[in-house]
Structure 1
């Protein structure tokens, strides 16, 4: 069986630009690696701009009856941004670190997982890779469509490991066993444009919007749970079409986000936003988009496999956390238990994104332990 160097494969993936939504050449690199390891690779492209086209990959290696353990990840990355020393999409190693967009989030984890399965003498059971090109975006044509593909073929993993960078200060210190939900919302207050010297001839929407913003900001959503921190509502943008000092605007807008725990659903929070806003201004317009619901994986075999692997390779006891942002676990939990575990996340999405070469190599050994344990479960 072909053996894979995780750092080399990560560098090759990084060196193919794949800003979200991604498709094409970056999937070719992964396809070649997995096909060489005996995986049957299925690829499909869905959607159109602005949320697509998105490519997805399901790669399966089946060796008869036994458990099915999946690895989920994404090959798309956020834009590089300004300020890099050198090309963000030309992977290089400096001072023991692999540098390039996607090195941390999360091409190195995918490479580590491929390296892990390249060293497994699989006699039974099923290994699969569920890889999307749209995790950093809205996931319209990403992981939810992978789930559709699996359901149409009655394929259901018993557990899924997600390679997001969850560790905080050192590899293995944090495992994500759930994630908060995310609700985006946009408010628009309509008015009548006019000259500031003649306010009686205009209708200024800014004060009305400000009262709504204040009321929503004052909402106490909850006090958290044993597994989750309190839910929080944050405004991220306020604006009018013009900044002229002598012009009352015809409309004013605000944008916000709620990160919520499993005491709520997205629909419940939408009703709360609507009722609160319309109690102040019945004419205000509210638009919402649920990025994902909160979820929590109950303790079980997958917990044990990941924590045992960390103890063996890193010699530490990991924290089981639900903090941070969302992941595609919010979709995959509909199939089976999921756990997110990967590299330290200090440089994710940053200029100069990088991962320690030693951590990538250790992660491959950790993943091998999890996969072997999963196949034997």
Structure 2
């Protein structure tokens, strides 16, 4: 890992991105990012409000007081950097080298936040008296538990009678080049913590034990082969994945008494979480297993089909980048799962995601400069 002194760019988008990457904001810690953003937005004439819940920092900022509300959303928290000795540069030293900004959060998603803010600055210089309200919803609780962040802020806003029309989230959605993919929805995510019970015993006396691994294999094979749905025009087929499996004492002559599995479903809008639970337990019951299962629903599937926000985004990407973007619902969960159910049109658009959550995360500087122009035009399309 090279030692290098951070030199800040003269470009406002890049320098702001560097300042944000410099903060060691491992989820749910904000590490001063939102204070920096608040100061910038206040200087642009925003009414800025801090909405902390438990150990999570949240920011709500508005320019304007009328409907429609167009919200720019994102998160200041990042995932841990992983092995430090595998980084070319220290993960919280925002080095610009070879045309890339390096550092944890550069692509996911501090670079997007910086581009949004400088786009907002440029927009307000041209349209200080724009229609509607331009707002920011920023949390430090997206990468981890996602309990006291966007979800809680939305509850507060709804209690005030504030309803959002459009929300643009700066998640890194692009694959090969900026804007080639935007997210217009996400699959649902359902977790199962499954415990299968048997009877522990000596491997030499299997007739005096009940091996839960052996008992479970036919049921697990059926679950893995199950076709949950076919997907549809907007969603791929539902996927079930066993992510963890554990049994035994760690020695060779003991039949385990329990088998523990962690299972995740990424599901389309062809299914409900209740439907998945019922089919899952029907298969286990058919094989006469002794089990208990605990379910956790992280989010239901959602999609934004049609509407002004998608149209504005498609037009902007065609104008700015000469690209016909792909509308996708793939990828992991995002805070869009909390925003879309309120009736808000949601689109996610950000830089390339090839290095997110990896060591040596980076983002192309040119992408952030282009992204600033893209965000600015989308705002103009909707609020002028």
Same fold (TM over 0.5): yes
Instruction: Give the SS at the match of 2:41.
Output: helix
Structure 1: runs of 5+ lacking an equivalent? 48-52
1:266 to partner: Cα distance? 1.6
Residue of structure 2 equivalent to 1:10: 17
Residue of structure 2 equivalent to 1:306: 313
1:54 alignment partner, one of 56, 65, 77: 56
Task: Tell me, yes or no, if the aligned pair for 1:110 and 1:163 is still in contact at 8 Å.
Answer: yes
1:41 alignment partner, one of 43, 48, 65: 48
User: In structure 2, what is the Cα distance between the partners aligned to 1:296 and 1:238?
Assistant: 33
1:324 alignment partner, one of 320, 324, 331: 331
Query: Is 2:151 the counterpart of 1:144?
Result: yes
Deviations 1:194-247 (A, max 9, x none): 221122332221112323321211211111111111111111111114221111
Task: Tell me, yes or no, if the aligned pair for 2:101 and 2:362 is still in contact at 8 Å.
Answer: yes
1:127 to partner: Cα distance? 0.7
After the TM superposition, which residues 18-29 of structure 1 pair with which residues of structure 2 at under 5 Å, given as runs? 18-29=25-36
1:24 to partner: Cα distance? 4.4
Task: Tell me, yes or no, if the aligned pair for 1:160 and 1:337 is still in contact at 8 Å.
Answer: yes
User: In structure 2, what is the Cα distance between the partners aligned to 1:197 and 1:175?
Assistant: 58
Task: Tell me, yes or no, if the aligned pair for 1:23 and 1:45 is still in contact at 8 Å.
Answer: no
Deviations 1:132-183 (A, max 9, x none): 1111123111211111011011111211111111111000111111111111
Task: Tell me, yes or no, if the aligned pair for 2:182 and 2:347 is still in contact at 8 Å.
Answer: yes
Task: Tell me, yes or no, if the aligned pair for 1:212 and 1:281 is still in contact at 8 Å.
Answer: no
Residue of structure 1 equivalent to 2:82: 81
Residue of structure 2 equivalent to 1:341: 349
Instruction: Give the SS at the match of 1:106.
Output: helix
Residue of structure 1 equivalent to 2:134: 127
Instruction: Give the SS at the match of 1:288.
Output: strand
User: In structure 1, what is the Cα distance between the partners aligned to 2:285 and 2:80?
Assistant: 37
User: In structure 2, what is the Cα distance between the partners aligned to 1:365 and 1:348?
Assistant: 22
User: In structure 2, what is the Cα distance between the partners aligned to 1:35 and 1:197?
Assistant: 73
User: In structure 2, what is the Cα distance between the partners aligned to 1:65 and 1:237?
Assistant: 49
Query: Is 2:105 the counterpart of 1:98?
Result: no
> What is the aligned residue count?
368
RMSD in angstroms over aligned alpha carbons? 1.6
User: In structure 1, what is the Cα distance between the partners aligned to 2:77 and 2:351?
Assistant: 17
Name the stretch that deviates more: 113-122 or 352-361.
113-122
Residue of structure 1 equivalent to 2:6: none
Residue of structure 1 equivalent to 2:270: 263
Deviations 1:247-271 (A, max 9, x none): 1112111111111111012222122
Deviations 1:254-297 (A, max 9, x none): 11111111101222212221222222234211111111111111
Residue of structure 2 equivalent to 1:50: none
Residue of structure 1 equivalent to 2:382: 374
Name the stretch that deviates more: 203-212 or 216-225.
203-212
Instruction: Give the SS at the match of 1:59.
Output: strand
User: In structure 2, what is the Cα distance between the partners aligned to 1:272 and 1:139?
Assistant: 28
Instruction: Give the SS at the match of 1:184.
Output: strand
TM-score normalized by the length of structure 2: 0.92
Residue of structure 1 equivalent to 2:200: 193
Query: Structure 1 residues 132, 365: closer, same or farther in 2, change over 3 A?
Result: same
2:301 alignment partner, one of 286, 291, 294: 294
User: In structure 1, what is the Cα distance between the partners aligned to 2:199 and 2:56?
Assistant: 42
TM-score normalized by the length of structure 1: 0.94
Residue of structure 2 equivalent to 1:251: 258
Residue of structure 1 equivalent to 2:5: none
Task: Tell me, yes or no, if the aligned pair for 2:248 and 2:255 is still in contact at 8 Å.
Answer: no
Instruction: Give the SS at the match of 1:313.
Output: helix
User: In structure 1, what is the Cα distance between the partners aligned to 2:60 and 2:37?
Assistant: 11
Residue of structure 1 equivalent to 2:211: 204
Instruction: Give the SS at the match of 2:172.
Output: coil
User: In structure 2, what is the Cα distance between the partners aligned to 1:137 and 1:266?
Assistant: 22
